[in-house]
Amino acid sequence: MPIEILMPALSPTMEEGTLAKWLVKEGDAVSSGDVIAEIETDKATMEFEAVDEGVIGKILVAEGTADVKVNTPIAMLLEDGESADDLGASPEPTPKAAPAKPAEAAAAAPPTAAPPTPTQSGDRVFASPLARRIAADKGLDLSQITGSGPRGRIVKADVEGATAQPSATPTQTAAPAAAAPAAKPVDSSAIAKMYEGRAYTELPLDGMRKTIAARLTEAKQTIPHFYLRRSVTLDPLMAFRAQLNAQLEKRGAKLSVNDFIIKACALALQQVPAANAVWAGDRILQLEPSDVAVAVAIEGGLFTPVLKDAHQKSLSTLSAEMKDLATRARDRKLAPHEYQGGSFAISNLGMMGIENFDAVINPPHGAILAVGAGLKKPVVADDGTVTVATVMSMTLSVDHRVIDGALGAELLQAIVDNLENPMAMLA
C-alpha cells in the first residue's frame, strides 16, 4: 500500500514548520537517505531525507506552505509494483487551522505522543520491502522490532543494526509526572482593543519566537532561580591576552575576552564537578565533560551553540570553533546536535556595554553565567592604596534543584580564580 510521507519533527521543540522547497517531483524515484525537501523549523532550514524507497506518487503540501503540523501527510510514496491507481482516496492537504480563541486554547490540551510501534493489520507488520529482505537474511522477527518510519513503519535503518533475539518480556511503564497547571492565556483581542486609535504594526510570531517565549516562560515558572554575583579584575588577563595575540598574529588568530571566559568556565566545571549537572525531572545527571553553551544573538532570536569538551581544547581552538558556530547560527545553518545539550551556559552582554544583568537558565542546564562589561574603576589594593583597575561584573543564575548556594559559590569562585590567573588555564 502507498506510504504516507509525514512532516518530520527535525528538532525537539518543533511542533510545526514550513515546507520551504521540494527537491523532487511526482514520478521521481527515491531511495532511503535521498534528500527530498527543505524544511524550515523553529531554529533553522534543514534537509529532509526519505526513509523508504519508492516513487513519489503525489505531493500533498505545496512548497512555501507554512504552519504545517508535525506528522501531517505531505506526500505519498509508491512501493515496487504500485501505481497512481493505488493511491485511491489519498489524504488531502491539511488546511491551515484558524487561530484558536483564548478560551478554546485554554481548554485544548495536546495529547501526549506515544512512541512509534510497528503498525499491524492482523498478522501483518508494515515494513519497507528493503527492510523485509534484510530481516529475512538476518533471521529477524519483524514483530519484535520498533519502526522509526512514518506511523511506526519499519525501515532499513531499523533492521541493519538489529540482531535476532527472543521476545522481550513486557515491563511496566512508569506513569508520567503530572503536568504543571497551564498559565492563563493572554487575550490578544483584549490587548489589541487597549490600543485602538494608536498607530502600531502587528508582527506575527515565527517559529523561533514562539519557541523562545514558551521555553523562557517554562524556565521562569518551573526553575527556582537564585543569583550569585562577583566582580573579577581583568588587568592580568588583558595583558596576557595582548601577549598571546601578538604571537598568534602570524597564524591569523585573535583571542577575545569571551574565549578566556569559555575556557575559565569549562575548567571550573572540572574543578567543581558536582556543579557540572543538569535537572532531569526525577533525577540529576552529573556530566563528566565540560560542554559549555554560549548565547549568540541573531535576527529575531538567539541560539546557544554548545562547545563540547571545552576543557580539553586550547584557547585558539575554542576561538575558531566559536566563530564558526556563531557564523552558522546567524545563517540558521546549525544542526540540532550543535545547539542541544551542555550543562552550563554563558550570556555575554558586556560587549554591548551592559554592566550587569541576570540571565534566565536554559533548561535542563544547572546554571548560566551573565557577563557584564569590563570597566575602569577605582579599587583598594591589598596595601590600602587606591588604584585603577579593569573590573568586570558577573552574575551566576543557578537552579536550586541542582546546585545549592555553597556549591554555586564554589563554582563562581573557581571561574573568578581562572580569569584572574589566566596563565594557569594553559597548564
The strand pairing partners of 298, in sequence order, are 301
Q: How far is CA 319 from CA 235, 325, 329, 355, 363, in A?
A: 20, 10, 15, 23, 25
Amino acid at 294: V
Q: In what order do the strands lie in the sheet with 65-69?
A: 45-49, 35-40, 16-22, 65-69
Locate 164 and state its grid cell.
535476532
Q: How many residues comprise the chain?
A: 427
Strand partners, 29: 55
Q: What are residue 378's phi and psi, to 5 degrees?
A: -75, 135
State the Rg of the chain over Cα. 26
Query: Are the CB atoms for 395 and 359 separated by under 8 Å?
Result: yes
Residue 371 DSSP SS3 = strand
3-state secondary structure of 157: helix
Secondary structure tally for the chain: helices H, strands E: 9, 20
Please compute, for residue 263, the number of CA atoms within 13 A of its CA located in the half-sphere on the CB side.
26
Which helix or strand (DSSP H or E) is residue 56 part of? strand 54-59
CA distances (Å), 272 to each of 74, 229, 249, 399, 401, in order? 49, 18, 34, 16, 17
d(CA 341, CA 329): 16
CB distance 166 to 140 below 8 Å: no
Q: Which of 225, 311, 365, 400 is catalytic?
A: 400
Task: Tell which residue, 136, 411, 98, has the closest CA to residue 275.
Answer: 411
Please give the Cα distance from 218 to 227 (Å, whole number). Answer: 18
Tell me whether residue 225 is one of the annotated catalytic residues. no
What is the residue whose three cell numbers read 540571565? 359
CA pair distance 386, 325, nearest whole angstrom: 42
What are 151's strand-pairing partners?
none
The grid coordinates of residue 207 equal: 517559529
Catalytic residues, which ones?
400
